[in-house]
Structure formats: structure tokens, C-alpha cells
Amino acid sequence: MTAVGRDPGLQPERTRLAWRRTTLSCTVVALLAGRQALDSGVSGAGVIAVALSLLAWLGFLGVAHRRVTGLGTAEPVPLSPRRALTAAACTVALAVFAAATLF
């Protein structure tokens, strides 16, 4: 007995929700970094760190949006290595820039 079509079950929905949760977490980190920079006083380094945090957040948001949109098809294509690397780099960069606003 062979399967005619792919039955993904709820896996695409779980993956979509995971991308949304991660995007929400990145948004919170970027907002907290901005708030910390404003609370500690506006300095040149703080403004640069917040701007870079915003850029990293936008990069991750773009990758996540493309992935969530791509999961809406019957047979979603796998995440390309380039997009996976971009998402990972944006996440690490966001953490580094957010930590930089503390110092």
C-alpha cells in the first residue's frame, strides 16, 4: 500500500507557530534594547547599537515572513541554507547588539 499524496498533518501549522513565536521574541528583544538605550541616555554608541538591532530584526522578520508564507502551500519547499544562515546570523546579531546597549 503506497501513499498517493503527502499528509503533513499539523506539522506545517506547528512550524508556522514556531516562526511566529520566534519573531515575537526577536521583537521583544529589539524593543527592550531600544528602551534600555533610551533609559541610559542617548549616546552615539547606543544609537548605533539600536539601529543595528533594528536592522537585524528587520532581516529576521523578512526571512520569517517568507518562511511562514511558504508554509501555506500543499508541499512547502525546505528552508534554503542561505535563509537559514540569514535567520541565525540575524538572531545572533540581535543578541550581540542588544547586549551592547547594556554597556
Q: What is the pLDDT of residue 86?
A: 93
Q: What is the average pLDDT value for the chain, to the nearest integer?
A: 83
In the predicted model, what is the mean pLDDT of residues 24-48?
A: 81
Q: Confidence class of residue 5 from pLDDT cuts 50, 70 and 90? A: low
Amino acid identity of 41? Answer: G
